Amino acid sequence: IYYSRIYIYTLNPLIHYSYTHYIHSVTISYCSNKKSISGNNCVGGILGYATYVDEISAFENTADITGNNYVGGYAGQTTTRTLIQLVENNNKITGKAYVGGIAGSTGSLKGCINNGTIISSGVLVEGSTPVACVGGIAGYATSIENCTNNSDISVATGGQFVGGIVGKLQASKGSNFKNCSNNGDISSNSSYVGGIAGYVKASDTSSSNWILQIDNNENLGIIVSLSGNYVGGIAGYIKD
């Protein structure tokens, strides 16, 4: 684990006291988890929750992970600044909402593989919306490329946003949605279900000159949503 903190002191000459500012940067790599982990919220094979992690890479998780909300094979929840790349999950991930083979909720993902079954057994109500946010790679992310899911996804309740790769993709300028493959079957009872992404939304409405390219994605899994709307082979719903 690499961690750096830079202290910057500034003096206010008018009222004669100083401020201390912190710049944090954390990179986590070459770690492994080989024992099962169970918890409530923010549960991950390597990391439960983090705000200042810039990159997670070269990990190994070979144990089952179980929790309620924000559950992932490597990270339960991080901020959107985090990049997770070149990691592989081979075990079962079980939770309710924001559940993914690699991360429950994070920023960008590159070159990640999930081989473990994903199971969602409940929902998280946000406002009046029952949310599952479940994906083979991540429940929620801002950018995703070169990722593969090889295992089945089961969502037992009516929680929305289920995808073979990502449940909900909140894209902005610079985001990617390309070169991903889903080989697992998806069984759901909800709306916004896709072979690659359940729901894709553009969050950067201040810029009118950017394009989100949805390119070279492939779904080879059977998708069943018994009572849901907005179900697609690549994306269930795309909103600008």
Beta bridge partners of 145: 110, 178
Give the per-residue pLDDT at 24.
Answer: 66
Torsion of CA 68, 70, 71, 74, to 10 degrees: -160
Looking at residue 12, what DSSP letter applies? E
Token pair, residue 39, equals 């918890």
Torsion of CA 100, 101, 106, 108, to 10 degrees: -130
Token pair, residue 149, equals 């899911």
Q: In this structure, what are the phi and psi dihedrals at residue 3, rounded to the nearest 5 degrees?
A: -140, 130
In the numeric block, the tokens 């992310």 are attached to 141
Closest residue by Cα to residue 172 from 194, 145, 196, 205: 205
Rounded alpha-carbon distances, angstroms, from residue 239 to 149, 173, 212, 236: 24, 15, 11, 10
Token pair, residue 41, equals 């919220």
Token pair, residue 177, equals 């949605």
Token pair, residue 27, equals 């990179």
What's the one-letter identity of residue 65?
Answer: I
C-alpha span between 73 and 158 (Å, rounded): 23
Mean pLDDT in runs of 10 for the chain (240 residues)?
43 46 73 93 94 86 94 95 94 97 96 96 94 98 96 93 97 89 95 96 68 90 93 93
State the burial class of residue 125 (Cβ atoms within 10 Å of its Cβ: 0-12, 13-18, 19+).
exposed
Q: In this structure, what are the phi and psi dihedrals at residue 92, rounded to the nearest 5 degrees?
A: -70, 135
Torsion of CA 165, 166, 169, 175, to 10 degrees: -40
Give the per-residue pLDDT at 75.
Answer: 96
State the burial class of residue 164 (Cβ atoms within 10 Å of its Cβ: 0-12, 13-18, 19+).
buried
